[in-house]
Structure 1
Amino acid sequence: MKRPVRDLEQSSRRIGRRALLLGSAQLGVAAALGLRMRSMQVEQADQFRLLAEENRINIRLLPPARGLIFDRNGIPLAENEQNYRVVMVREDAGDVDEVLARLQDIVALDPANIERAREDMRKLSSFVPVIIADRLLWEDVAKININAPALPGVSAEVGLSRRYPYGADVGHVVGYVGPVSDYDLSRIDDQDPLLQIPKFQIGKTGVENKLEHTLRGSAGTKRIEVNALGRVMRELDRQEGVAGKDIQLGLDERLQSYAQARMDGESSGAVVIDLQTGDLRAIASAPSFDPNLFVRGISVKDWTDLNENKYRPLAAKAVQGAYPPGSTFKMVTGLAALNAGVISPEETVYCRGYTVVAGTRFHCWKRAGHGNVNFHDSLKYSCDCYYYEVAQRIGIDKMAEMARTLGIGVKHDLPLSAISTGLAPDKQWKLEVRGEDWRIGDTVNAAIGQGYVLASPLQLAIMTARIATGRVVTPRLVKSVDGVEEPSGIGEPLDINENMLRRCRASMNAVINEKRGTGARAKVITAGYEMAGKTGTSQVRRITAEERARGVISNDDLPWERRDHALFVCFAPVDNPKFAVAVVVEHGGGGSTAASPIARDIMLQALYDGPPPLDAYPSADRARIEEQQARIAQRITQIKPAQDRV
Structure 2
Amino acid sequence: MRKTPTEITEVHSRMSRRTLFLGGSMLAFMTGLGFRMRHLQLDQADQYRLLAEENRINIRLIPPARGEIFDRNGIVLARNEPSYRITLVPEDAGDVDKVIEKLATLVELDPNELDRAVTEMRRSPPFLPVTIADRVSWDELSRVAVNTPALPGITPEVGLSRYYPLRGDLAHVLGYVGPVSDYDLSKIDNPDQLLRIPRFQIGKVGLEGRMEDDLRGVAGTKRVEVNAVGRVMRELDRREGQQGDDVQLTIDQQLQSYAQARLGDESAAAVVMDCVTGDLLAVASAPSFDPNLFVQGISVTDYGTLTSDNHRPLAAKSVQGAYPPGSTFKMITALAALEAGIVGYGGTVYCPGHMKVSNRRFHCWKRGGHGHMDLAGALRESCDVYFYDLAIQVGIDKISEVATKLGLGQRYDLPLSGVARGLNPNRAWKADVRGADWVVGDTANASIGQGFVLASPLQLAVMTARLASGKALDPRIVKSVNGVEETLPVVPNLELNAAHLAEVQRGMFQVSNHRRGTAYSQRIIDDEFRMAGKTGTSQVRNITAAERARGVTRNEDLPWERRDHGLFVNYAPYDNPRIAVAVVVEHGGGSKSATPIGRDITLQALYGGTPPLSAYPAKDREKIKKQQEEMQKLVPGREITRRNRA
Taking structure 2 as the reference length, the TM-score comes to 0.91
Q: How does 1:109-508 map to 2 (within 5 A)?
A: 110-118=113-121, 121=124, 134-136=134-136, 137-139=140-142, 142=145, 157-226=157-226, 232=232, 234-488=234-488, 491-508=491-508
Deviation of 1:264 after TM superposition, in Å, equals 1.1
* Partner Cα separation in structure 1 for residue 50 and residue 132 of structure 2: 31
Deviation of 1:340 after TM superposition, in Å, equals 1.8
Report the secondary structure of 1:611's partner residue. coil
* Partner Cα separation in structure 2 for residue 60 and residue 156 of structure 1: 20
1:302-360 deviation line (CA, Å, top 9, x unaligned) = 00000000000000111100000000000010011111211112111111111111111
One-letter amino acid matched to 2:40 = M
Deviation of 1:113 after TM superposition, in Å, equals 3.2
One-letter amino acid matched to 1:166 = L
1:225–1:232 Cα contact (<8 Å) kept: yes
Moved more, 231-240 or 542-551: 231-240
1:260-291 deviation line (CA, Å, top 9, x unaligned) = 11111100000001112211111000000110
* Partner Cα separation in structure 2 for residue 225 and residue 103 of structure 1: 27
Deviation of 1:16 after TM superposition, in Å, equals 3.8
Who is 1:614 aligned against? 613
Who is 1:57 aligned against? 57
Structure 2 residue 522 is matched with structure 1 residue 522 = yes
One-letter amino acid matched to 1:497 = N
Give the 3 Å change call, closer, same or farther, for CA 395–144 of structure 1 in structure 2: farther
Give the 3 Å change call, closer, same or farther, for CA 24–97 of structure 1 in structure 2: farther
Give the 3 Å change call, closer, same or farther, for CA 111–406 of structure 1 in structure 2: same
Report the secondary structure of 1:117's partner residue. helix
User: What are the ranges of 5 or more consecutive residues in structure 1 without an aligned counterpart?
Assistant: 642-646
Who is 2:643 aligned against? none
User: What are the ranges of 5 or more consecutive residues in structure 2 without an aligned counterpart?
Assistant: 641-646
Q: Matched residues, percent identical?
A: 56
Who is 1:68 aligned against? 68
* Partner Cα separation in structure 2 for residue 406 and residue 448 of structure 1: 16
Give the 3 Å change call, closer, same or farther, for CA 141–208 of structure 1 in structure 2: farther
One-letter amino acid matched to 2:141 = W
Report the secondary structure of 1:158's partner residue. strand
Deviation of 1:638 after TM superposition, in Å, equals 11
Moved more, 476-485 or 554-563: 476-485
* Partner Cα separation in structure 2 for residue 162 and residue 99 of structure 1: 34
Report the secondary structure of 1:36's partner residue. helix
1:270–1:283 Cα contact (<8 Å) kept: yes
1:419-449 deviation line (CA, Å, top 9, x unaligned) = 1101110011111111111111101100000
* Partner Cα separation in structure 2 for residue 639 and residue 537 of structure 1: 36
* Partner Cα separation in structure 2 for residue 129 and residue 52 of structure 1: 26
* Partner Cα separation in structure 2 for residue 118 and residue 13 of structure 1: 74
Who is 2:628 aligned against? 629
Moved more, 327-336 or 136-145: 136-145
* Partner Cα separation in structure 1 for residue 449 and residue 236 of structure 2: 68
Moved more, 554-563 or 99-108: 99-108
Question: Superposition RMSD on alpha carbons, in Å?
Answer: 2.8
Report the secondary structure of 2:451's partner residue. coil
Deviation of 1:158 after TM superposition, in Å, equals 3.3
* Partner Cα separation in structure 2 for residue 28 and residue 155 of structure 1: 60
Deviation of 1:300 after TM superposition, in Å, equals 0.9
Deviation of 1:631 after TM superposition, in Å, equals 1.6
* Partner Cα separation in structure 2 for residue 244 and residue 190 of structure 1: 20
Report the secondary structure of 1:207's partner residue. helix
2:91–2:127 Cα contact (<8 Å) kept: no
Deviation of 1:87 after TM superposition, in Å, equals 6.8
1:278–1:489 Cα contact (<8 Å) kept: no
Taking structure 1 as the reference length, the TM-score comes to 0.91
* Partner Cα separation in structure 2 for residue 617 and residue 179 of structure 1: 48
* Partner Cα separation in structure 2 for residue 157 and residue 43 of structure 1: 46
Who is 1:596 aligned against? 595
One-letter amino acid matched to 2:376 = H
Report the secondary structure of 1:135's partner residue. strand
1:446–1:453 Cα contact (<8 Å) kept: yes
Give the 3 Å change call, closer, same or farther, for CA 353–254 of structure 1 in structure 2: same
One-letter amino acid matched to 1:612 = P
Give the 3 Å change call, closer, same or farther, for CA 52–309 of structure 1 in structure 2: same
One-letter amino acid matched to 1:269 = A
* Partner Cα separation in structure 2 for residue 147 and residue 234 of structure 1: 23
Report the secondary structure of 2:282's partner residue. strand
One-letter amino acid matched to 2:580 = A
1:93-122 deviation line (CA, Å, top 9, x unaligned) = 896996977975775574323245347748
Who is 2:535 aligned against? 535
Structure 2 residue 27 is matched with structure 1 residue 27 = yes
Give the 3 Å change call, closer, same or farther, for CA 386–339 of structure 1 in structure 2: same
One-letter amino acid matched to 1:506 = R
1:598-634 deviation line (CA, Å, top 9, x unaligned) = 1011111111111111121111111111111112222
* Partner Cα separation in structure 1 for residue 52 and residue 87 of structure 2: 25
* Partner Cα separation in structure 2 for residue 500 and residue 560 of structure 1: 39
2:266–2:286 Cα contact (<8 Å) kept: yes
1:278–1:488 Cα contact (<8 Å) kept: no
Deviation of 1:195 after TM superposition, in Å, equals 1.5
Give the 3 Å change call, closer, same or farther, for CA 560–144 of structure 1 in structure 2: same
Give the 3 Å change call, closer, same or farther, for CA 208–492 of structure 1 in structure 2: same
1:247-272 deviation line (CA, Å, top 9, x unaligned) = 10010111111111111110000000
* Partner Cα separation in structure 2 for residue 211 and residue 284 of structure 1: 20
* Partner Cα separation in structure 2 for residue 180 and residue 226 of structure 1: 27
1:451-480 deviation line (CA, Å, top 9, x unaligned) = 000001100011000001111111110011
1:10-58 deviation line (CA, Å, top 9, x unaligned) = 5444444443343333333322321221111101100111122223322
* Partner Cα separation in structure 1 for residue 12 and residue 98 of structure 2: 71
Give the 3 Å change call, closer, same or farther, for CA 463–165 of structure 1 in structure 2: same
Report the secondary structure of 1:454's partner residue. coil
Who is 2:82 aligned against? 82
Moved more, 186-195 or 284-293: 186-195
* Equivalent pairs, count: 630
Give the 3 Å change call, closer, same or farther, for CA 115–345 of structure 1 in structure 2: farther
1:216-253 deviation line (CA, Å, top 9, x unaligned) = 11111122234567665543332221211111001011
* Partner Cα separation in structure 1 for residue 74 and residue 352 of structure 2: 56
One-letter amino acid matched to 1:391 = A
